[in-house]
Amino acid sequence: MGNNTVKSRSEIRDVVAQGIQDTKIIDVHTHLFPPSFGELCLYGIDELLTYHYLISEAFLWLDIPYESFWKMSKREQADLIWETLFLQNSPVSEAAQGILTILDELNVPVSKNLDDVRRAFDQRDVDEYISRVMHVSNVEEIVMTNDPFDPAERQYWEKGEMGDDRFRSALRLDPLVNDWDHTVALVREMGYEVDERVDRRTVKSLQQFLKDWIEKIHPLYVALSLPHTFTFPERGSSTRILEECLIPICEQYELPMALMVGTKRQVNPDLKLAGDMAGRADMAALENLCRQYPHQKFLVTMLSRENQYELITLSRKFRNLMIFGCWWFLNTPYLVEEITRMRFQLLGNRFIPQHSDCRVFEQLIYKWKHTKHILENLLMEHYEQLLKKGWPVEVSDIRNDIEKLLRGNVLHFINS
Ligand code: RAT
Ligand code: ZN
């Protein structure tokens, strides 16, 4: 056996841990923005505590009307969430524990007094701070979610190039496919001649709209989140827009599409952003898309736990499908472990294990730390099995596998 072959469990542990620590991550789906996007770039303890995952958890205990919560200042909301989820209860949930991981990794002294925590967070040069957070989490590139229909965001794109190479863009187009009847007015306001009926003129204008935005923001991919009821093909506008506008333009620009399937939006509208949930989807739509468009690449994540096994089996059938992430409610250690284990056993290393979905910068720290911990244990198990079976496991093999999982599969799928 060569010098670079690992020989024991403890050596495997060291090499895996080191490999994970050294590998610079590409985070393929977030809601983060660079500091040049002003108020859209969120960071700090009050933003962290008012994350919508924590808002919905706090409301399970609160008996105030929803409206009075929304009338509070951000600081007051953060105080209330701290009081509810950290003082009156122990911070047990994944989102609550995430806050503690962040404090720990940033060396903020843990205190039950929120003002002490605030003081420790309070002295930032934003740009430097963002770099520090990226360094601590070892995330090298962040893919944003860029919504041309959001006026708050649009003003920044209209100023010109973003000019921050830590960030990559992704053109997010939910309203176009999921709600054309209402979106038609927005697209018209943006200067394109479109009609509710997706006729030839509308198709042409929409194609132009897409080209303009692709050329403005240079996205890595075009993204859609789709309801659990999504079907393809169907007789409505969503199929026409996909078939005649989105897919041809993605083909022309060689852009993958990211499909995030399984939302049930606004189950409780009083909770605003926190009011969405998950629904089980029918796999036929994805199956049809992958088969009908073999040259179109699809990055796919699904929200329902019940869809995970079928998604993996589908991904074995189509090279143009790459699974990514354990999305939203699935980004919970117990489920991440289950899903990732199943993916390894059915796909080997050919999937993108995680994306963070962060909205607030420091969340990169906990979301990636928790995922890495699970990945480390699963990889350990694999290499131990190989060792037991007499397979020569080299240090470079382990590092190569980890590189694929945390960045290489993203790059290869998107660029090849
Ligand atoms: O995870 C989340 O923050 C959700 O609210 C959604 O934003 C979801 O990730 C999405 O991209 O639609
Ligand atoms: Zn998201």
Instruction: Compute the distance between CA of residue 372 and CA of residue 124 in angstroms, rounded to an integer.
Output: 27
CA 34/CA 144 separation, integer angstroms: 9
Distance CA 175, CA 183 (A): 6
DSSP class of residue 361 equals: T
Contact criterion met (CB below 8 Å) for 367 and 405:
no
Note the pLDDT of residue 3. 63
> Which residue's CA lies nearest to atom 8 of ligand 1?
328
- Assign 161 a pLDDT band (cuts: 50, 70, 90): confident
Answer whether 357 contacts ligand 1 (Cβ < 6 A). yes
pLDDT at 123 over 80: no
DSSP H or E run through 300 = strand 298-302
**Which residue, 368, 371, 370, 400, is CA-closest to 383?**
400
Q: Check pocket membership of 225 for ligand 1, CB cut-off 6 A.
A: yes
Residues near ligand 2 ion, CB 5 Å cutoff: 357
The ligand whose atoms approach the alpha carbon of 273 most closely is 1
Q: What is the mean pLDDT of residues 353-381?
A: 98
* Distances, alpha carbon 235 to alpha carbons 238, 243, 248, 291, in Å: 8, 12, 19, 19
Please give the average per-residue pLDDT across 167-172, as a whole number.
98
Q: Give the residue, out of 357, 360, 364, with the most ligand 1 atoms within 8 A of its beta carbon, to mutate for a pocket test.
A: 357
**Does any ligand 1 atom lie closer than 6 A to the CB of residue 328?**
yes
- Give the pLDDT of residue 124: 74
Question: Residue 1's pLDDT is what?
Answer: 42
CA of 31 to the centre of ligand 2 (A): 6
Q: Cα(54) to centroid of ligand 2, in Å?
A: 16
- The pLDDT score that the predictor gives to residue 379 is 98
Dist. CA 357 → ligand 1 center (Å): 6
Nearest atom within ligand 1 for CA of residue 29: 11
Does 2 have pLDDT greater than 90?
no
Q: Which ligand is nearest to the CA of 328?
A: 1
8-state DSSP, 225? E
pTM exceeds 0.85:
yes
Give the tens place of pLDDT for each residue, 198-239: 999 999 999 999 999 999 999 999 999 999 999 999 999 999
Was domain 5-415 assigned CATH 3.20.20.140? yes
Question: Residue 102 pLDDT > 80, yes or no?
Answer: yes
Phi, psi of 394 (to 5 degrees): -95, 150
* Bridging pattern class, strands 298-302 and 321-323: parallel
How many angstroms is it from 91 CA to the middle of ligand 1? 22
Q: How far is the CA of 2 from the centre of ligand 1 (A)?
A: 47
Q: Where are the domains of the chain?
A: 5-415
Give yes or no for residue 354 CB within 6 A of ligand 1: no
User: Can you point out the beta strands (E) in 76-116?
Assistant: none
- Cα 356 to ligand 2 centroid, rounded to whole Å: 8
CB 210 within 8 A of CB 249: yes
Nearest alpha carbon, ligand 1 atom 4: 328
Cα dist from 309 to 27, 178, 224, 313, 403, whole Å: 23, 25, 21, 6, 25
236 φ, ψ (degrees, to nearest 5) = -100, -170
What is the distance, to the nearest Å, from the Cα of residue 358 to the centroid of all Cα atoms in its chain? 7
Torsion sign (Cα): 339, 340, 341, 344: positive
Tokens encoding 297 = 């690449």
Q: Which amino acid is at 141?
A: E
The Cβ of residue 156 has, within 10 Å, a number of other Cβ atoms equal to 16
CA 225 to ligand 1 center in whole angstroms: 9
List Cα–Cα distances, 212 to 186, 243, 369, in angstroms: 15, 19, 38
CA of 328 to the centre of ligand 1 (A): 6
At residue 254, the 3 state secondary structure works out as coil
For residue 32, the CA-to-ligand 2 centroid distance in Å is: 10
| DSSP-derived secondary structure letter, 5 | B
pLDDT on residue 225:
98
Q: What is the pLDDT of residues 270-303, one digit of tens each?
A: 999 999 999 999 999 999 999 999 999 999 999 9
Of ligand 1's atoms, which has the minimum distance to the CA of residue 223?
11
Mean predicted lDDT score pLDDT of the chain = 97
**Average pLDDT in the 395-410 region?**
98
For the CA of 363, the nearest ligand:
1
What span, in angstroms and rounded, lies between the C-alpha atoms of 275 and 264?
A: 9
Q: Distance between CA 102 and CA 89 in Å, rounded?
A: 19
- Testing ligand 1's pocket by substitution, the residue of 328, 335, 355 carrying the most ligand atoms inside 8 A of its CB is 328
The tally of CA atoms less than 13 A away on the side-chain side of residue 58 is 25
Q: Report pLDDT digits (tens) over 253-274.
A: 999 999 999 999 999 999 999 9
**Closest Cα to atom 6, ligand 1: which residue?**
328
The protein residue whose alpha carbon is closest to atom 2 in ligand 1 is 328
* Residues with Cβ within 8 Å of residue 14, at least 6 apart in sequence: none
Instruction: For residue 177, report the distance from its CA to the centre of ligand 2, in Å.
Output: 17
Pocket test for ligand 1, best of 29, 30, 31 (most atoms within 8 A of CB): 31
Q: Is the CB of 351 under 6 A from ligand 1?
A: no
> Distance from the CA of 323 to the center of ligand 1, in angstroms?
17
**pLDDT (mean) for 61-78:** 98
